[in-house]
């Protein structure tokens, strides 16, 4: 299953990239995040593997995230024409996913965030969910992007239920 989401954020691209890369901000916009800890490497750096635990209702889902692309490596002073790429592979029970983020400067004060997602399922339960509810994955990704936008632009924190 593949899909793409996008959202425009009223902040400079460099600032958006830095907010997305900072692990301290994850709980403020990523609903359900319980834990995101590097087990090898430094958070957000190319090749880093992290243990990720998400809460979905009463269920906890654990997976491993690997940063497969971060370009440019330094998020400071990015030239205008440069597109920021941040890709990661996520592996969990019965599921493999790759997420490719692209940040493009649309104006000095506006950033387009495009996210391409691909999922493959190996367990019967996950395959059924993918077949019967493909829109749920797409909708959840869009919700995460909208939550990030509200956090970045207005300081809204999903844990405070202000969305």
CATH number at 2-157: 3.30.530.20
CA atoms within 13 A on the CB side of 136: 8
pLDDT band at 162 (very low <50, low <70, confident <90, very high): very low
pLDDT band at 144 (very low <50, low <70, confident <90, very high): very high
The answer to whether the predicted template modeling score (pTM) of the entire model surpasses 0.85 is yes
pLDDT band at 114 (very low <50, low <70, confident <90, very high): very high
Residue 111 in contact with residue 8, Cβ under 8 Å?
yes
Give domain limits for the chain. 2-157
Instruction: Tell me what pLDDT residue 9 has.
Output: 98
């Amino acid at each position: 299953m593949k899909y793409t989401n996008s959202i425009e954020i009223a902040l400079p691209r460099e600032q958006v990239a830095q907010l997305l890369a900072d692990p301290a901000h994850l709980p403020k916009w990523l609903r359900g995040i319980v834990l995101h800890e590097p087990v090898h490497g430094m958070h957000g750096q190319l090749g880093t593997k992290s243990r990720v635990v998400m809460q979905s209702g009463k269920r906890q889902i654990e997976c491993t995230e690997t940063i497969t692309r971060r370009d440019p490596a330094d998020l400071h002073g990015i030239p205008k024409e440069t597109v920021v790429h941040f890709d990661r592979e996520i592996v969990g029970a019965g599921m493999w996913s790759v997420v490719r983020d692209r940040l493009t400067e649309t104006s000095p004060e506006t950033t387009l965030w495009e996210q391409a997602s691909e999922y493959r399922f190996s367990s019967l339960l996950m395959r059924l969910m993918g077949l019967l509810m493909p829109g749920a994955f797409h909708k959840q990704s869009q919700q995460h992007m909208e939550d990030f936008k509200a956090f970045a632009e207005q300081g809204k924190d999903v844990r405070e239920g202000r969305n």
